[in-house]
Amino acid sequence: VPDVDQKVSVFKMQEYDDHYTISTSVVTCKIERDNFHISFSDNITGTVMVDEPNSMHWEENVDFGGYYIYATKKCQPEENFFGLGDKSGNFNLRGRRFENWNTDAYSFGWNQDPLYRTIPFYIGMHNQAAYGIFFDNTFKSYFDFGGEDVTKTSFWADGGELQYYYIHGPHMMDVVKRYATLTGTHPMPPKWTLGYQQCRWSYYPESKVKEIAKQFRDRKIPCDAIYLDIDYMDGYRCFTWNKKYFPDPRRMIKELSDDGFKTVVMIDPGIKVDDDYWVFKEGKDNKYFCRRSDDYFMEGHVWPGRCQFPDFTNPKVRKWWGKLYEEMVDMGVAGFWNDMNEPAVFGSGTFPNDVRHNYDGYRGSHRKAHNVYGMQMVRSTYEGLKKLMRNKRPFTITRAGYSGMQRYASVWTGDNIATWEHLKMGNIQCQRLSVSGVSFCGTDIGGFSGEPDGELFTRWIQLGTFSPFMRAHSAGDTAEREPWSFGEFFEDINRKFIELRYRLLPYLYSVFWEHHRYGFPILRPLVMLEQEKISNHFRQDEFCYGDKLLICPVLEQGAISRQVYLPKGKWYNFWTNEVLDGESEHHIDAKIDSMPIFVRAGSVIPEYPVMQYVDEKSITEVVLNIYNSDYEVNSYMYEDHGDTFAFEQDIYLEKKFTVKGDNQFLKVNQRIVGLYTPNYEFYACNVMGVNFQVKKIIVDNKEVKDFHTDDKNILHFKCLKNFAEIQILSL
């Protein structure tokens, strides 16, 4: 749990003959004297949110010593459960049991468990109210949501303490935001990381990397990053280069940068046992590698062969590891990808349980450290990069992690498969990660293993356009998988959606700010929007990106339309501007060149011109897409330098737009906070849904003479970027 400024709740404790209570203005915790039963109640409604059929309990762990510790709660008849991070299978967890033990789950299947990450946080929901439980225990842990006994929800661990946080709602959004105050949010990323990124195991030699870069630019398909997997290394030794494949990496990185490409490289934890290898020699001499109970170094085989592994739970090791990136940062490498950090070991799967870890001075076995090993590795990477890059924002990716990993890295869902089932699964996993605190997430677009056809790859690009982390990745024994790999027909559609990603970049970036600053999840499942509707507890193929865009991906092979559910309110079809009623289902065309997207009425959606990479050219004007509404709606736009920490000194702009209209007028207000000055001076305003004949437009008491309505009934005009009020009038 990070050190964060917390609002102090006023509470009181009272003692009674048979119980104690601890109360705030909204929630009461009751503790029975005789049996230590614990319950939590909502003070407004009187609803008992969490109750216990029996108190905490434990049993001896005959394998390792110590105790298994258990907590059992009542499972209400209509209660449903969400969270736990990237678990596969249905979004609603009711009726299932889960295990948390970070695992290299290559080509994992539906309902396979455990996977790569441990996020022991879930959201329960019953009686139209939500609460959260964060079981902060790093040992192997388990959750059972009415799987063994439909009347009980249980969580337990193989060791450690029964330490958990109760997080009160009553709204699901309240729970997720309060969980973020405990475990943190993602740092603001470099803006280029929200662009399209291309990866493969592996692009080599240099000529192949250059060819991929040239194809993107020649075909006018936007792309911001090219990845180098493990084959760029000398014998898979981390922090080295294979000079046969990459004779002058500094020059190559510079040339890629000149063409708008950032270089991202992989770094694994396994350090080859080789006394002539400087990283191994430093680690060995300083005793930075993990040791077993007999004090011998722990060794295992991974890509370089025989390896030893840094103990990232040791603060001295973390500091050393962070400094190892210096030469690569100096070369211009822009991002780092920490893989294999479950930790994965060939043959045995992971470390033996008797490996000893420093654990910040509180020594313990691998049973305690296993689930945090990956997070501590990427923490070392991020903190080192933050020092080395000074005022530039680091970009890191991790495969494994624990609750709180979002403070240091983005994630992807791991080594998936090129199937329609995995397309559906990835959609659910990213929603689940987002409500579990890890919003900067995505999938390997197209599938890591297996062979997608053009239709599957294109549908994945469409979904990936609205994944916070958008990266295509594939294994080396599969056919090439770039946006042009399936012929001109699919290439044109893929280009269209990647360009849409870049057009919407100011909106996507603003949503990221809302997550970073306020703890809002980036991806929001329908249950988060309308938790009072039980049917939404089981809807899992639609989600909102931020508060304003509803995304309805096409997940069935051969589909040319799909049924969508629109939450309450009015919604505009993004492609046609048709206005549809919420709280109802609609059948929407969804041919291969389209994907249903809807915009909440009253929204203001900013757009940039299409670029081949982020900040390719200076922006001279920003498009504001304004969607009329007969009720007041607020929208936000965030701007800053895009790659520095100057926003921490208030060098940013946070703009609040308020839209309100009827059948005679439409008013748009803007309020601006912050000290950043963007380069552009004008907004190009496109107003949708104006259902009256426009006679006059007034901006800050000055009439706009030049405006027109096109054949799609979209009103167009321009205004200065710092306007306070726009009035669109019929009189």
What's the domain count of the chain? 4
Looking at residue 172, which CATH number applies to its domain? 2.60.40.1760
Look at residue 514 and give its three-state secondary structure. helix
Phi and psi, residue 312, nearest 5°: -70, -5
Encode 63-107 in three state secondary structure.
CCCCEEEEEEEECCCCCEEEECCCCCCCCCCCCCEEEECCCCCCC
In terms of domains, do 592 and 624 share one? no
The answer for residues whose C-beta is within 8 angstroms of residue 8's C-beta and 6 or more apart is: none
Amino acid type, 74: K
Instruction: Provide the 3-class DSSP secondary structure of residue 233.
Output: coil
> What pTM value is reported for the model?
0.97
pLDDT of residue 8: 61
Q: Does residue 654 lie in a domain region?
A: yes
Residue 59 CA: distances (Å) to CA of 64, 65, 154, 519, 681: 12, 10, 15, 38, 68
291 domain-assigned: no
Fill in the amino acid letter for 69.
I
Q: Which two tokens stand for residue 178?
A: 């309060």
Q: Classify residue 297: in a domain, yes or no.
A: no
Query: What are 516-549's pLDDT values in tens digits?
Result: 999 999 999 999 999 999 999 999 999 999 999 9
- The DSSP code sequence of 572-630 is EETTT--EEESSEEEEEE--TT---EEEETT-EEEEPPP-SSTTSS---EEEEEEE--S
Q: Are residues 390 and 462 in the same domain?
A: yes
Domain end call among 135, 157, 183: 183
Residue 3 has a pLDDT of 47
Share of the chain above pLDDT 70, in %: 99
Q: What dihedral do alpha carbons 534, 538, 544, 545 form, nearest 10°? A: 140
261 Cβ neighbours under 8 A, 6+ residues apart: 213, 216, 223, 224, 225, 226, 613
200 and 176, same structural domain?
Answer: no
Average pLDDT of the residues in 622-637: 98
Taking a C-beta distance cutoff of 8 angstroms, is the pair 341, 269 a contact?
A: yes
Whether the per-residue pLDDT at 6 is higher than 80: the answer is no
pLDDT of residue 7: 60
Owning domain of residue 541: 523-600
Q: Render pLDDT for 651-674 as a digit per residue (tens, 0 to 9).
A: 999 999 999 999 899 999 999 999
Q: Are residues 502 and 559 in the same domain?
A: no
Mean pLDDT for 557-565 is: 98
- Average pLDDT of the residues of the chain: 97
Q: List, by residue number, the catalytic residues.
A: 339, 342, 415
User: Does residue 533 sit in the same domain as residue 666?
Assistant: no
pLDDT at 309 over 90: yes
Residue 68: inside a domain? yes
pLDDT in tens, 454-468: 999 999 999 999 999
Please tell me the distance from the alpha carbon of residue 402 to that of residue 481, in angstroms, as a whole number.
31
Q: Is residue 173 located within the same domain as residue 230?
A: no
Domain harbouring 581, CATH code: 2.60.40.1180
- Residues 652 and 530 occupy one common structural domain: no
pLDDT band at 116 (very low <50, low <70, confident <90, very high): very high
Find where tokens 């434990």 sit. 58
Does the pLDDT value for residue 712 go beyond 70? yes
Q: Is residue 294 assigned to a domain?
A: no
CA dihedral 717, 719, 723, 728 (to 10 degrees): -20
Residue 248 lies in a domain: yes
149-186 per-position pLDDT tens digit: 999 999 999 999 999 999 999 999 999 999 999 999 99
Q: Is 94 within a domain?
A: yes
Residue 235 located in a structural domain? yes
3 state SS of 483: coil
Counted residue by residue, the chain has a size of 731
Burial 315-334 (b: 16+ CB within 10 A, else e): eebbebbbebbeebbebbbb
* Residue 31 identity: I
Reading the block at residue 277, the tokens are 């290898």
- Last residue within a domain, chosen from 565, 600, 635: 600
pLDDT at 2 over 70: no
pLDDT at position 60 is 86
Residues 171, 205, single domain; the answer is: no
**The domain boundary residue, chosen from 127, 158, 183:** 183
**What are the angstrom distances between the C-alpha of 243 and each of 206, 267, 514?**
10, 17, 44
Average pLDDT over residues 201-218: 98
Answer whether 551's CB lies under 8 Å from 539's CB: no
Question: 691 and 663 in one domain?
Answer: yes
pLDDT for the residue numbered 66: 82
d(CA 385, CA 463) in angstroms, rounded, equals: 31
| CATH code where residue 451 lies | 3.20.20.80
Q: Are 491 and 529 part of one and the same domain?
A: no
Strand order in the sheet with 305-308: 271-272, 305-308, 299-302
340 and 215 housed in the same domain:
yes
Strand-pairing partners, residue 123, are 82, 132
In three-state secondary structure terms, 699 is strand
Identify whether residues 120 and 249 lie together within a single domain.
no
* Ramachandran quadrant class, 220 (left: phi over 0; alpha: psi -120 to 50; beta: rest): left
Average pLDDT rounded to a whole number, residues 76-95? 98
